[in-house]
């Protein structure tokens, strides 16, 4: 972890700089879905539902070699203090696409030509880290649905406040404005290959700090992966249990 002379000496919620918020996960929360899961980190709650594989319409969008994955990310109107206007917006469309790219790196739909698997991610409560919470829920929901996956996907947001790197940034830290301000770095890691499936950067960071942030992210994802696997094992592969 980076040792710094930052203005930021202590986290607002008392956590250590490399400490996750309390994490909870559960699968099978929507009985009518092919797969579903909820993932919570602190006050951030993400729900994911999977539908498919099913025949893709319109027909001209079908791929005879493989199925396709579609991801839709959204925030419920009262997931934050200020009511969100319902419907898609530029931010939700961007997050939908990056989540789709990240999940596509671990999903194998080659046995389902001309079909689509839809993943719907909804944020019911937001306290930063919503896209990574959504990815964690979506990966579990895909596994719960029995969609072929090369490996699991786990995600976390690393923050940089002033000159200090921190794990699992919350909203208060995300809005921190003293010194150099805050930086948000969402990272998604594959479970076996430990490859980066998603890496975004909002803010300023040096190459050496980015390398350290990635290492911190990989370590945090190991902890989250244990929670994901435990939740999946509870249903013993039976979606109806």
Over the stretch 102-141, which tens digit does the pLDDT of each residue have?
A: 999 999 999 999 999 999 999 999 998 999 999 999 999 9
Domain contains 154: yes
Write out the chain in H/E/C secondary structure.
CCCCCCCCCCCCCCCCCCCCCCEEEEECCCCCCCEEEEEEECCEEEEEEEEEEEECCCHHHCCCCCCEEEEEEEECCCCCCCCCCCCCCHHHHHHHHHHHHHHHCCECCCCCCCEEEEEEEEEEECCCCHHHHHHHHHHHHHHHCCCCECCCEEEEEEEEECCEEEECCCHHHHCCCCCCCEEEEEEEEECCCCCEEEECCECCCCHHHHHHHHHHHHHHHHHHHHHHHHHHHCCCCCCCC
pLDDT at 82 over 80: no
pLDDT tens per residue, range 195-207: 999 999 988 889 9
Would 12 be classed as within a structural domain? no
Provide the residue range defining the domain that includes 114: 23-231
For position 77, which CATH number holds?
3.30.230.70
């Amino acid at each position: 972890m980076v040792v710094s002379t930052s203005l930021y000496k202590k986290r607002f919620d008392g956590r250590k700089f490399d400490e996750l918020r309390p994490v909870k996960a559960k699968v099978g929360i929507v009985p009518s879905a092919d797969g579903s899961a909820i993932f919570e980190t602190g006050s951030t709650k993400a729900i994911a539902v999977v539908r498919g594989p099913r025949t893709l319409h319109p027909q001209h969008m079908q791929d005879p070699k493989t199925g396709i994955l579609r991801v839709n990310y959204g925030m419920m109107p009262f997931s934050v203090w200020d009511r969100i206007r319902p419907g898609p917006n530029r931010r939700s469309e961007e997050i939908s696409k990056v989540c789709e790219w990240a999940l596509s790196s671990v999903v194998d739909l080659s046995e389902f030509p001309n079909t689509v698997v839809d993943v719907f991610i909804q944020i019911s409560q937001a306290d930063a880290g919503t896209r990574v919470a959504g990815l964690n829920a979506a990966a579990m929901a895909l596994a719960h649905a029995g969609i072929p996956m090369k490996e699991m996907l786990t995600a976390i947001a690393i923050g940089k406040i002033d000159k200090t790197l921190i794990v699992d940034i919350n909203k208060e830290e995300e809005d921190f404005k003293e010194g150099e301000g805050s930086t948000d770095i969402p990272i998604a890691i594959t479970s076996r290959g430990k490859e980066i499936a998603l890496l975004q950067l909002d803010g300023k960071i040096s190459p050496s700090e980015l390398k350290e942030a990635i290492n911190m992210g990989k370590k945090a994802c190991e902890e989250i992966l244990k929670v994901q696997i435990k939740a999946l094992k509870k249903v013993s592969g039976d979606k109806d249990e």
